[in-house]
Copies of this chain bind each other. A is one copy, B any other.
Amino acid sequence: MDALILCAGKGERLKPLTENRPKPMIPIAGKPILQHIIDKIEDLVDNIYLIVKHKKENIIEHFKDHPKVKFLEQGKIDGTGEAVLTAKNHIGDEFLVINGDIVFEDTLEQFLKYKYAIAVKEVSDPKNFGVVVLDDKNNVIEIQEKPENPKSNLINAGIYKFDRKIFELIEKTEISKRGERELTDAIKLLIKEENVKGIKLNGYWNDVGRPWDVLEANKYFLDKIKTYISGKVEENVIIKGNVIIEKGAVIKANSVIEGPAIIKKGSIVGPLAYIRPYTVLMENTFVGNSSEIKSSIIMKNTKIPHLSYVGDSIIGENCNFGCNTITANLRFDDKPVKVNIKGKRVESVRKLGVIMGDNVKTGIQVSFMPGVKVGSNCWIGASCLIDRDIESDVFVYK
């Protein structure tokens, strides 16, 4: 049994987080989405083929030492069908196919019992998904793409079990005008010829489409952690709740940590800092004096040295925050924060801070309004109030 994970996509809706990394490499609860998937399947399969393209070096660097992982680069043609086809000359007779940008809680053992299977997830509003219709034996009888009138509330959850027959069927599908070949077109052919079992996922599942989905998934998995402290904890540090402090991390004097939270190796917190629940500090971050981080992901090498507040935010790698950088995360009218997603202004959640790319530097006393996105490599000058999205590579100043 092999596995094939689709990791080639661009993740447009998650920009700027995907400017310098593929979506499967966004960290959730302290490790990339893709790592979550591999951790779940590595004992079930012989080989794991990662289909890569956009920012592939990022994936290769992270997984190159994994004994079961192999990398295959998708060619000119895009789409999930084409991605699967990339593995044709490498993969074994039977294999799992998994979207590389989902997180899920169920184990996949039951998939191995069937020749053909597809995971489905019950949702309340399936209109924006691929809807899967099952018969009374749970065999797939129809797949609808973002239907006006869904015939079921089960959606395609992005996990499949196939054998090599899928390659033939993909080759029979057409390449769309956008130059893409979609896996679901082949599955529609498959269900005409074979029994394809619909397997309902019972546990948590999230396709992490928008920035606040990242934070929601982060919360979900943080609620599962157990306290494990192997870093250095200085005097008068108070730790409450479940907290992981990795070896090589230091919590400096008089700080307060409220879990669930993860503080990864090389990170420094404090002195006199405050880490609130649902925070992840990735490797080599620094959160210093009188700074407070809440429900946020701070990626590696980022520094928030003093008198800053970051709440309900995702901050990229290698950022440096000037003293007194403050994020707002709530509207006066308590309505959902609005965010630009692929050019459209959409409602997110009640509390959302800033979504920031990598290598951003802020000056002192910079403030961010709720839901703004800041592209990578920006410099935000002192005392600026950022109330709209900032493209990458921009120098904003007063």
Contact = CB atoms under 8 A, between A and B. Distances in A.
Contacts of A328: 322-323, 363-364, 382
A56 B233 CA distance: 52
A272 B364 CA distance: 21
A20 interface: no
Given A307-B292, A323-B328, A328-B382, A364 B367 contact: yes
Given A272-B256, A323-B309, A326-B324, A382 B367 contact: yes
Nearest to A333: B379
A253 B256 contact: yes
Interface stretch (A88-96, A97-105, A178-186, A234-242): A234-242
A387 B383 CA distance: 11
Contact of A307 (B326, B361, B379): B326
Contacts of A332: 361, 363, 379, 395
Given A238-B254, A382-B369, A271 B274 contact: yes
Interface string A225-255: 0000000001110101000000000001110
Each complex incorporates copies of this chain amounting to: 3
Contact of A326 (B253, B327, B365, B379): B365
Contact of A290 (B238, B289, B369): B289
Nearest to A239: B253
Given A367-B383, A382-B385, A289 B289 contact: no
Contacts of A323: 309, 326-328
Q: Which 8 A-B pairs have the closest CB atoms?
A: A238-B253, A256-B271, A290-B290, A309-B323, A332-B379, A274-B289, A326-B364, A383-B385
Given A254-B256, A365-B365, 17 more contacts: A236-B238, A236-B254, A253-B256, A256-B271, A271-B274, A272-B290, A289-B290, A290-B307, A307-B309, A324-B324, A326-B365, A332-B361, A332-B395, A365-B385, A382-B385, A383-B383, A383-B385
